């Protein structure tokens, strides 16, 4: 089979095709003929040599796939050849075939294309984990979602709206703010032209946000602490703007009784990801089926254009997900 790999990981990294043996499913795995794969910042970091895959997992890029069951392992009972599936991987998605544990695969809802399904796993599972499992977001609470135009951001807006929360987003352009509002956000803030912490306090009547989802880190740290409500939560999913803090007055944590969490998904245990997938599928698959939730896709590119996909994401040009379609010619 063909797959996309990284040549010279680091500053001068390049993406290229190589031929690999087709993976063989373990007894509890299924082999999937991959039709589409989502592009994620983790792929870019891995290409740059900054985010190696977990030990024992595929070195091939790609964390999410959609495709057709090609073969099932000896212990698999819930899938059969020819069924449409999608799911989250620790790696191996930029390939014509990939293996996935039977309990990490989900059935593709009937209305969705392979490309739409491939845009769901990483973004929506991360958003679901952050808002519901970790953030305990409830109806009538307020959530501030940074990077509202990202894949996770667009997923989080929809989930939070469905819960019945007030959804405030920040984004780096007026266009992205407008798109987030059209998607269902209650309020939008261009963080380049407005101080988001002041606007959050204005919007909430001085209370602040019950939950903040942040990908930026250092540049937003003090403003997040100003914008979060008493007994609120701050969940860090990335530190794209930096991770080292020069000054941090710990008294703010006691004064506001804050909870600050850091979270990742890729290096979680298989058991954790199986449980998360099961909970997410119960919550979300009916909503994708009736189109209450949707995958927001900026562009779909052939996998020969994967370098273009990475450049687009690196330059923050996308609103929502970028998906590559996998050729089997």
pLDDT value at position 210?
98
**Beta-strand relationship, 187-190 and 142-145:** unpaired
CATH architecture of 2-120+266-325: Alpha-Beta Complex (3.90)
Sequence-distant (≥ 6) Cβ neighbours of residue 50 within 8 angstroms: none
Q: Percent of the chain scored above 70 by pLDDT?
A: 100
Average pLDDT over residues 221-241: 96
Q: Percent of the chain scored above 90 by pLDDT?
A: 92
**Beta-strand relationship, 105-107 and 84-88:** antiparallel
pLDDT value at position 12?
77
Residue 19 above 90 pLDDT? Answer: yes
DSSP track, 156-184? HHHHHHHHT-EEEEEESSHHHHHHHHHHT
pLDDT value at position 54?
87
DSSP track, 77-95? -S--TT-EEEEE-SS--SB
What is the value of pTM for the model shown?
A: 0.96
Which of 118-132, 201-215, 221-235, 247-261 shows the lowest per-residue confidence on average (mean pLDDT)? Answer: 247-261
- Tell me how crowded residue 54 is: count the other CB atoms within 10 A of its CB: 12
Sequence-distant (≥ 6) Cβ neighbours of residue 270 within 8 angstroms: 101, 104
Residues of the chain with CATH 3.40.50.720: 124-262
Q: Per-residue pLDDT tens for 35-78? A: 999 999 999 999 999 998 888 889 899 999 999 999 999 999 99
Residue 10 above 90 pLDDT? Answer: no
Distance CA 220, CA 20 (A): 43
Which of 72-86, 149-163, 164-178, 238-252 shows the lowest per-residue confidence on average (mean pLDDT)? Answer: 238-252
pLDDT value at position 71?
98
pLDDT value at position 247?
82
Average pLDDT over residues 144-159: 98
Residue 166 above 80 pLDDT? Answer: yes
Q: Which CATH number fits domain 124-262: 3.90.950.10, 1.10.1240.10, 3.40.50.720, 3.30.1370.110?
A: 3.40.50.720
Q: Per-residue pLDDT tens for 257-312? A: 999 999 999 989 999 999 999 999 999 999 999 999 999 999 999 999 999 999 99
Is 124 strand, coil or helix? helix
Residues of the chain with CATH 3.90.180.10: 2-120+266-325
Average pLDDT, the chain: 96
Task: Give the DSSP letter of residue 234.
Answer: E
In the block, tokens 């990908």 appear at: 215
């Amino acid at each position: 089979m063909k797959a996309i790999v990284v040549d010279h990981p680091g500053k001068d990294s390049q993406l290229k095709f190589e031929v690999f043996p087709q993976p063989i499913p373990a007894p509890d795995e299924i082999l999937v003929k991959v039709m589409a794969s989502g592009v994620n910042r983790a792929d870019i970091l891995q290409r740059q040599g900054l985010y190696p895959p977990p030990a024992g997992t595929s070195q091939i890029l790609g964390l999410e796939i959609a495709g057709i069951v090609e073969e099932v392992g000896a212990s698999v009972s819930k899938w059969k050849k020819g069924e449409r599936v999608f799911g989250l991987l620790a790696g191996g998605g930029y390939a014509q075939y990939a293996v996935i544990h039977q309990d990490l695969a989900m059935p593709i809802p009937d209305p969705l294309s392979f490309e739409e399904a491939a845009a769901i796993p990483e973004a929506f599972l991360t958003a679901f984990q952050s808002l519901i499992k970790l953030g305990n977001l409830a109806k009538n609470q307020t959530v501030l979602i940074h990077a509202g135009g990202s894949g996770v951001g667009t997923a989080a807006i929809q989930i939070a709206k469905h819960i019945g929360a007030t959804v405030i987003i920040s984004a780096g352009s007026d266009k992205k703010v407008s798109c987030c509002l059209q998607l269902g956000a209650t309020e939008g803030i261009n963080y380049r032209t407005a101080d988001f912490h002041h606007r959050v306090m204005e919007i909430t009547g001085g209370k602040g946000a019950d939950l903040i989802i942040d990908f930026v880190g250092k540049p937003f740290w003090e403003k997040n602490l100003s914008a979060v409500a008493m007994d609120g939560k701050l969940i860090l999913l990335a530190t794209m703007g930096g991770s080292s803090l020069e000054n941090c007055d710990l008294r703010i944590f006691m004064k506001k009784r804050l909870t600050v969490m850091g979270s990742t998904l890729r290096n979680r245990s298989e058991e954790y990801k199986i449980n998360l997938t099961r909970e997410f599928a119960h919550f979300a698959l009916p909503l994708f089926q009736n189109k209450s939730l949707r995958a927001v896709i900026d562009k779909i590119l052939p996998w020969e254009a994967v370098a273009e996909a990475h450049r687009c994401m690196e330059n923050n040009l996308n609103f929502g997900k970028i998906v590559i379609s996998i050729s089997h010619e």
